[in-house]
Structure 1
Amino acid sequence: MIWFLRHYPITILVAAPYALLFVPMAVFNANPQTPFILRLLGAALIGTLLVETAAGAARPRPRWRPDITAVSASHCHLYLVARLVAVVSIAASITGARAGQGTIFTQLGDEVAASPVARVTALSAGWSYLAFALLLSSFLGGHAKRARVLGWIGLLVAGQIATAALTGITSPLFGFLSFVAGAGAICGLFRVREVVILGVVLLLAWPTLFAVRNDIRVEGGVSVADDVSAQDRMRLDLQLAHAAEYDVPVDVGQPGPSEFVRYGLVPRILDADRPTISTGALINQYLGGSATSSYSFLALGNVYFLVGWLGVPVYFAGWAALALLLLRARGAPGPIRLSLFCFVLAGPLLWSSGYPDAMIAFLQHTVAALPVFVLLLLLKKRMPGRHSVDRKSEVRLPLAADLRTTWRA
């Protein structure tokens, strides 16, 4: 398992949720579209496997020199910046939710949160992922102990929970947790067994979280379906398999190149009058629903539905190639490259994301992170700063071994 994670991290990341949840759920419930799900997953894995195999053949013994500790050592204030970004991201997320940004109530009203507060907080879009990446880089670079980094990541998760309580939407929370688990496992912050334990805890907690979410929605005046249980909502295999019922590709009016530029590169505060963009709402209308609700076949199903069979391996191969370039090209990644790598994992390659909106989100997150990237470059020093610590004395041997096997092939 360690060997495969070391050589095929992107393939593991793409396959894991389907191998652990989708396929077992489909088999257990005798889903007639199980072969379709397996073919779809196989098409995606063909793309990632080809890219990662080619990368391994081009560099049979990739060694990152200088290693990540030396690369990050020059960023002497990295851990401080990471904590500041974490605080800002938590505050902005909660404040924006209180102002109506991204809530179920705004969504059902087909409105955009127009308050100045909501527009300002939107400037920090993706900073929770950025904070995680910088905290991870601080740990890998020897600037912070693992326990302290995990504590700050816990605060980020708490911020996501508080935001979910205000918005009445839990999918971003589970997406963030999936991202944290996947990126942390790939980069050596978490052991595989810790990720498994996290998954089990989430499965056990889901019925309670589902009930709490419904209570929040009812209190806000939103009706919920009494005949849909927590177990029904876990049938993600049905959500994905629904795409098999249509002739593909389908044009629902999804975003094109001009929308990528307008929504991905221009902050809303500079284009306040633009309408909301939601491919999920367009798909829902195509399926006969209303514009105030959305439907997604998840990342894998959306690519198939909107692009067709050929688009699946091409899409995943392209993003896998970018992820590998950010992770391995020219030695170990510094905090900026690691942040961009995390944006790829949190957007286009995240199982719960929606194509093509996740690609726009990747651009938004990159643009929003530019001030932090500039700050990191301005604070960069030639010599390690006083915050550096001796990795040998701070990291326990089993974790150090995990890091060596993860970062060196």
Structure 2
Amino acid sequence: MLRRAPVTTQLAIPYGILILPQALLYGNEHIAFIVGILGLALAGCAPVEVLLRTRRRDELLVASRERLESYGGILRVVALLACAAGQASGIVSASFGVGTVAAQLGLIRPLTPVGPLLSIFSTWTVSGAALLVAAHLAGQLTRRTLNLCFLIVITLEGVRTAITTITASLISLTVYLVILGIFAGTLRLRTCVLAVVAVLLIWPSVYELRNAIRQESGVHVSASVDAFDRLRYDQQISRAADIVDIPIDIGQPDLPDTLRYGLIPRFLDPDRPTLSTGNRINVFLGGTQTSSFTFLPVTTLYVLQGPLATVAFYAVLAIILAIALRSGSRLTPWRLIVFGLVSAGPLSWFAGYPDSTIGCIQGLVAALPLLAVLHLARRRRMLPSPDAPRRWTRGRSVRDPVAPPDRRRGLPEDHQVEPDRPAA
């Protein structure tokens, strides 16, 4: 289901296991509003994914293996280096105060040059994880090794979370890696259910630890909100039901600004304002500039752009993923990176619009060096070797590229192939 309807599935999962059950359990009076907002998004993506049906996941993965094998071992190397660089840049940035709660509240001043310089690597973790899946499909990583790599990435994100005291990024990255694992077939449903139960059991302890770290940094923590109140995401959506005039204007980026933020790295445009849609929404609701609030992805888009834009936005996302995973095609690194960035960005459970969309565009730009290295490595592997046998094509003698030993239909490496002779 995730393979054939990725947008519909990723929209429905958080509502089915987290948002709607809590709304029903606690008797949320705005449950009809919550269902209606979800219906707008599904009205945009579901018809597109029904019309542009793709092949079954197992058929696609088998057909893609030969193409992914052509990249050789560099695929695994680039994937690991991208994940390492992405997580290292996040930890280093957090160590200098970038993205921490204390910096947002003005309690500390982050080191200014660090954030812009390391921001280009911030999305490499997402791209690197998608390339790890590509390496697994190419037979370069076993299922156990892939899951171990994902676990290491989550652990490093936990280190960064301990510094920033912001748990949203850890939860979002964990959900994204689970989505990748399900897509690649390395995670079973039973494992996912056990993981959800484990997260719910340890969440109160994690919440208390986060609050303790914040208090040590001088950040005020409200004692009236406990760990499970923090999981009442249905209440976040419900606050939008009281807004009368939809859409609202809080100075959110328009299309030119979205492209400016997405296509131009910050170190080339250091004077542009910081994206702060969550802070602007919090001020609109009567809060302070130092706090952030969103209505979760779908409802935030609805509040800022209106119902028609909500339908159109998720229809476009469905078209993008249908093209990336279209029927009759084989998975390639760039297709998997597009799937990963969309899943970790606009389709993330806790993303905010338009920040997540801009982040997705930034991730595509930042992934270009990775894709360029893979393209050049594959092209070099496919170049004809001087020792390759000759064949005749339209009266000319050309050399065939030498296939790797495992692609020679079982022939030994020292087997000599006689060159084709031109027809008389």
Give TM-score, length-normalised by structure 2.
0.85
Contact in 1 for aligned 2:8/2:42 (Cα 8 Å): yes
Q: Residues of 2 paired with 1:167 and 1:304: CA distance?
A: 30
Q: Aligned residue for 2:253? A: 255
Q: Residues of 1 paired with 2:268 and 2:204: CA distance?
A: 41
Residue pairs, 1:5-44, within 5 angstroms: 5-44=2-41
Q: Aligned residue for 1:294? A: 292
Q: Residues of 1 paired with 2:11 and 2:108: CA distance?
A: 33
Q: Aligned residue for 1:103? A: 100
User: Structure 1 residues 387 and 118 mapped into 2: Cα distance closer, same or farther (>3 Å)?
Assistant: farther
Q: Residues of 1 paired with 2:257 and 2:108: CA distance?
A: 19
Contact in 2 for aligned 1:299/1:352 (Cα 8 Å): yes
Deviations 1:358-398 (A, max 9, x none): 1100111111111111111111133776899xxxxxxxxxx
User: What letter is aligned with 1:19?
Assistant: G
| Distance apart, 1:6 and its partner CA | 4.7
Residue pairs, 1:257-406, within 5 angstroms: 257-328=255-326, 331-380=329-378, 381-382=381-382
Q: Residues of 1 paired with 2:287 and 2:215: CA distance?
A: 21
SS in 1 for 2:303: helix
Q: Residues of 1 paired with 2:296 and 2:75: CA distance?
A: 35
Contact in 2 for aligned 1:89/1:124 (Cα 8 Å): yes
User: What letter is aligned with 2:178?
Assistant: A
| Distance apart, 1:11 and its partner CA | 1.3
**Residue segments in structure 1 that go unaligned for 5+ positions in a row:** 389-409
User: Structure 1 residues 341 and 106 mapped into 2: Cα distance closer, same or farther (>3 Å)?
Assistant: same
1:172 aligns with 2:133: no
Q: Aligned residue for 1:396? A: none
| Distance apart, 1:116 and its partner CA | 2.8
Deviations 1:313-343 (A, max 9, x none): 2221111211121122551221121011100
User: Structure 1 residues 86 and 387 mapped into 2: Cα distance closer, same or farther (>3 Å)?
Assistant: farther
| Distance apart, 1:127 and its partner CA | 1.1
Bigger-Rg structure (1/2): 2
Contact in 1 for aligned 2:95/2:163 (Cα 8 Å): yes
Contact in 1 for aligned 2:133/2:180 (Cα 8 Å): no
User: Structure 1 residues 107 and 271 mapped into 2: Cα distance closer, same or farther (>3 Å)?
Assistant: same
User: Structure 1 residues 93 and 5 mapped into 2: Cα distance closer, same or farther (>3 Å)?
Assistant: closer
User: Structure 1 residues 304 and 387 mapped into 2: Cα distance closer, same or farther (>3 Å)?
Assistant: farther
Contact in 1 for aligned 2:250/2:280 (Cα 8 Å): yes
Q: Residues of 2 paired with 1:205 and 1:72: CA distance?
A: 39
The one of the two structures with greater contact order (alpha-carbon pairs below 8 A, sep at least 6) is 1
With 102-111 and 352-361 compared, the bigger mean Cα shift is at 102-111
Q: Aligned residue for 2:182? A: 185
User: Structure 1 residues 64 and 71 mapped into 2: Cα distance closer, same or farther (>3 Å)?
Assistant: same
| Equivalent residue for 2:50, pick from 42, 48, 53 | 53
| Equivalent residue for 2:66, pick from 57, 65, 70 | 70
| Distance apart, 1:262 and its partner CA | 2.3
Contact in 1 for aligned 2:346/2:356 (Cα 8 Å): yes
SS in 2 for 1:68: helix
Q: Aligned residue for 2:78? A: 81
Residue pairs, 1:105-254, within 5 angstroms: 105-109=102-106, 113-247=110-244, 248-254=246-252
SS in 2 for 1:252: coil
Q: Residues of 1 paired with 2:294 and 2:254: CA distance?
A: 18
User: Structure 1 residues 117 and 193 mapped into 2: Cα distance closer, same or farther (>3 Å)?
Assistant: same
With 324-333 and 111-120 compared, the bigger mean Cα shift is at 111-120
Q: Residues of 1 paired with 2:40 and 2:406: CA distance?
A: 46
SS in 1 for 2:307: coil
| Distance apart, 1:140 and its partner CA | 1.2
Q: Residues of 2 paired with 1:171 and 1:384: CA distance?
A: 46
| Distance apart, 1:112 and its partner CA | 7.9
User: Structure 1 residues 386 and 86 mapped into 2: Cα distance closer, same or farther (>3 Å)?
Assistant: farther
Deviations 1:245-265 (A, max 9, x none): 102111111111232122111
Contact in 1 for aligned 2:297/2:349 (Cα 8 Å): yes
| Equivalent residue for 1:92, pick from 67, 75, 89 | 89
Contact in 2 for aligned 1:11/1:45 (Cα 8 Å): yes
Q: Aligned residue for 1:402? A: none
Identity, % of aligned positions: 36
Normalized per residue, the structure richer in helix is 1
**Residue segments in structure 2 that go unaligned for 5+ positions in a row:** 383-401, 408-424
Q: Residues of 2 paired with 1:86 and 1:220: CA distance?
A: 29
Deviations 1:118-151 (A, max 9, x none): 3322120211111110111111121111111111
Q: Residues of 2 paired with 1:157 and 1:71: CA distance?
A: 29
Contact in 2 for aligned 1:75/1:385 (Cα 8 Å): no
User: What letter is aligned with 1:195?
Assistant: C
Q: Residues of 2 paired with 1:246 and 1:36: CA distance?
A: 12
Deviations 1:284-309 (A, max 9, x none): 11111122211100101101111222
Q: Aligned residue for 1:400? A: none
Number of positions where the alignment pairs a residue of Structure 1 with one of Structure 2 = 383
User: Structure 1 residues 111 and 119 mapped into 2: Cα distance closer, same or farther (>3 Å)?
Assistant: farther
SS in 1 for 2:177: helix
User: Structure 1 residues 148 and 387 mapped into 2: Cα distance closer, same or farther (>3 Å)?
Assistant: farther
Q: Residues of 1 paired with 2:196 and 2:403: CA distance?
A: 37
Deviations 1:225-282 (A, max 9, x none): 0111011101000001111110211111111123212211111111223221111111
Give TM-score, length-normalised by structure 1.
0.88
SS in 2 for 1:180: helix
Aligned Cα root-mean-square deviation (Å): 2.2
